[in-house]
């Protein structure tokens, strides 16, 4: 059996294990030796009740130990969940923030979940870097909020540092896999949303009228946009996207760059069978520490792990759609290897960060370019 697939317990497969445990509990009840049997049955009933509520019923959140490990939790009646940039100075010094109910909480250990009415179909997810100018961060959040509210989507924004790991010396943060951890938190916050759309902070939505759910994710639309039989790593690789995968089977939609698949802007189905398992697997410590990925440098480590998963796991590749850049993330410049990345008027999303830089440009340079492109959009 493929090592990536769940393994069947051999004892249970032979009919053993469950029956033995049941007979043990039965003997405990019939021996009449004290209250141990009664306590055991009561514990079993309680365990079944808790597990049953977790699997089939509404999720119950416990402050001080919720299911996702947070210490404190806040329930939002609005599907727009964003941090208060006015508190960024406090966050930068201590990573503590003031919740809406007045509590001072540790941001990395605090969860905000949606508890309003009907869940939005799609949630736009973004991680923000607190080292950027507050005015720029407020402008980016406001622009994403305007798009989400126009189409009835949710918006989930958190600081990337909340999900980063400290260096062994404790003097710097590793943000490589922060977006994956943040996406898991978004899935937890909007457990009934159908899709999650990750979009990097340094991207700008150039066409607010374009509905990504209706004009891209609808199977009839997606079927015409999928790049079939395309090499996963440009310009040519042994592994290609499948030729005849039905659009209705797709769970993962993204674009490419010169190195392989891109994690700057992608859509993931928010379900237990695929999306949840995919994110958990992507978070595996082996992906974060594998030397072949580490060698790609901080800018390419995450995408190297994603490209590896796509090539080596048919269960992922067979549910993935690669689409042209104009639908999810065009660039200011064309690629050196993969052509067709450059932005043209009418494209949906523009990624401000250059496609082939090994290190990210300075934050003020990205902020200036983002504001410049937004001004062009608003004043054509």
**DSSP3 helix / strand / coil % (the chain, rounded to 5):** 40, 15, 40
Residues 77 and 100: their CA atoms lie apart, in Å, by: 12
C-alpha–C-alpha distance, residues 329 and 176, integer Å: 20
Q: What is the tens place of the pLDDT at every residue in 155-167?
A: 999 999 999 876 5
Report the SS3 class of residue 21.
Answer: helix
Query: What whole-number distance in Å separates Cα of residue 233 and Cα of residue 235?
Result: 6
> Per-residue confidence at 286, pLDDT binned at 50, 70, 90?
confident
How high is the pLDDT of residue 288?
76
**Sequence-separated (6 or more) residues with CB below 8 Å from residue 105:** 71, 72, 96, 97, 98, 99
* 3-state secondary structure at position 184: helix
Binning pLDDT at 50, 70 and 90, where does residue 36 land? low
The rounded distance, in Å, linking the Cα atoms of 267 and 130 is: 24
Q: What DSSP assignment string belongs to 141-171?
A: HHHHHHHHHHHT-EEEEEEGGGG-EE-TTSS
Query: Contact, 341 vs 264, CB < 8 A?
Result: no
β-sheet bridge partners, residue 166: 173
pLDDT of 67 over the 70 cut: no
Average pLDDT over residues 262-275: 94
Average pLDDT, rounded, for the chain? 82
Q: Beta 349-351 vs 330-331: how paired, if at all?
A: parallel
Q: Is the pLDDT of residue 75 over 60?
A: yes
Mean pLDDT on 315-325: 96
What are 38-49's pLDDT values in tens digits?
Answer: 555 555 554 444
The neighbouring-strand residues paired with 158 are 127
3-state DSSP call for residue 188?
A: helix
Model confidence over 322-377: pLDDT tens digits? 999 999 999 998 888 888 899 999 999 999 987 666 667 888 999 999 999 999 99
CATH at 200: 3.90.550.10
Does 258 have pLDDT greater than 60? yes
Of the chain, the percentage scoring pLDDT greater than 70 comes to 77
pLDDT of residue 31: 42
Classify residue 214 by its DSSP letter: I
Mean pLDDT computed over 273-288: 88
Q: Which domain holds residue 216?
A: 72-378
Has residue 1 got a pLDDT over 50?
Answer: no
Asked, for residue 32, whether it belongs to a domain, the answer is no
Assess if residue 22 is contained within a domain.
no
Long-range pairs, 223-232, Cβ under 8 A, ≥24: 223/247, 225/321, 225/323, 225/324, 225/327, 226/250, 226/321, 226/322, 226/323, 227/321, 227/322, 227/323, 227/324, 230/256, 230/322, 232/256, 232/260, 232/261, 232/307, 232/310, 232/311, 232/317
303 in a domain, yes or no? Answer: yes
Q: What is the pLDDT of residue 285?
A: 83
Examine residue 140 and state whether it is found in any structural domain, yes or no.
Answer: yes
Does residue 315 have a pLDDT over 70? Answer: yes
| pLDDT, average across residues 98-116 | 92
Number of domains in the chain: 1
Residue predicted with more confidence, 20 or 125 = 125
Instruction: Reply yes or no on whether the pLDDT at 82 is more than 80.
Output: yes
What would the DSSP string read from start to end of 72-132? EEEEESSSEE---GGGHHHHHHHSEEE-TTS-EEEGGGEEEEE-SSSPPSEEEEEEE-TTS
CA 253, 190, 212, 358 dihedral sign is: negative
Asked whether residue 130 is assigned to any structural domain, the reply reads yes
The pLDDT value recorded for residue 8 is 34
pTM above 0.95, yes or no: no
CA pair distance 239, 279, nearest whole angstrom: 22
Q: Phi and psi dihedrals of 73, rounded to 5?
A: -140, 150
Check residue 256 and give its pLDDT: 93
In a domain, 3, yes or no: no
* Number of alpha carbons in the 13 Å side-chain half-sphere of residue 181: 22
């Amino acid at each position: 059996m493929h090592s990536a697939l769940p393994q069947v317990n051999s004892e249970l497969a032979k009919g053993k294990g469950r029956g033995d445990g049941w007979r043990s509990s039965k003997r405990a009840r019939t021996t009449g030796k004290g209250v141990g049997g009664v306590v055991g049955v009561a514990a079993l009933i309680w365990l079944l009740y808790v597990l049953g509520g977790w699997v089939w019923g509404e999720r119950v959140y416990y402050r001080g130990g919720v299911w996702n490990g947070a210490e404190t939790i806040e329930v939002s009646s609005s599907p727009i969940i964003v941090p208060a940039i006015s508190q960024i100075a406090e966050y930068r010094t201590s990573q503590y923030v003031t919740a809406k109910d007045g509590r001072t909480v540790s941001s990395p250990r605090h969860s905000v979940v949606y508890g309003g009415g009907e869940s939005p179909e799609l949630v736009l997810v973004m991680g923000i870097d607190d080292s950027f100018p507050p005015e720029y961060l407020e402008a980016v959040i406001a622009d994403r909020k305007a798009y989400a509210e126009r189409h009835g989507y949710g918006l989930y924004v958190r600081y990337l540092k909340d999900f980063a790991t400290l260096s062994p010396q404790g003097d710097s943060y590793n943000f490589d896999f922060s977006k994956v951890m943040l996406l898991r938190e978004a899935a937890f916050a909007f457990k009934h949303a159908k899709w999650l759309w990750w979009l990097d902070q340094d991207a700008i939505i150039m066409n607010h009228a374009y509905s990504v759910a209706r004009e891209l994710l609808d199977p009839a639309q997606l079927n015409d946009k999928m790049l079939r039989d395309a090499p996963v790593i440009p310009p040519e690789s042994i592994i290609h996207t499948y030729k005849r995968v039905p659009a209705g089977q797709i769970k993962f939609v993204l674009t490419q760059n010169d190195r392989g698949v891109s994690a700057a802007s992608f859509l993931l189905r928010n379900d237990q069978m695929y999306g949840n398992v995919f994110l958990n697997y992507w978070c595996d410590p082996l992906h974060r520490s594998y030397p072949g990925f580490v060698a790609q440098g901080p800018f390419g480590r995450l995408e190297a792990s994603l490209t590896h998963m796509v090539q080596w796991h048919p269960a992922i590749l067979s549910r993935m759609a690669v689409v042209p850049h104009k639908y999810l993330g065009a660039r200011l410049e064309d690629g050196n290897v993969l052509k067709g990345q450059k932005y043209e008027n009418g494209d949906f999303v523009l990624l401000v960060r250059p496609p082939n830089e090994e290190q990210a440009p300075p934050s003020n340079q990205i902020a200036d370019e983002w504001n410049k492109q937004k001004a062009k959009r608003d004043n054509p």
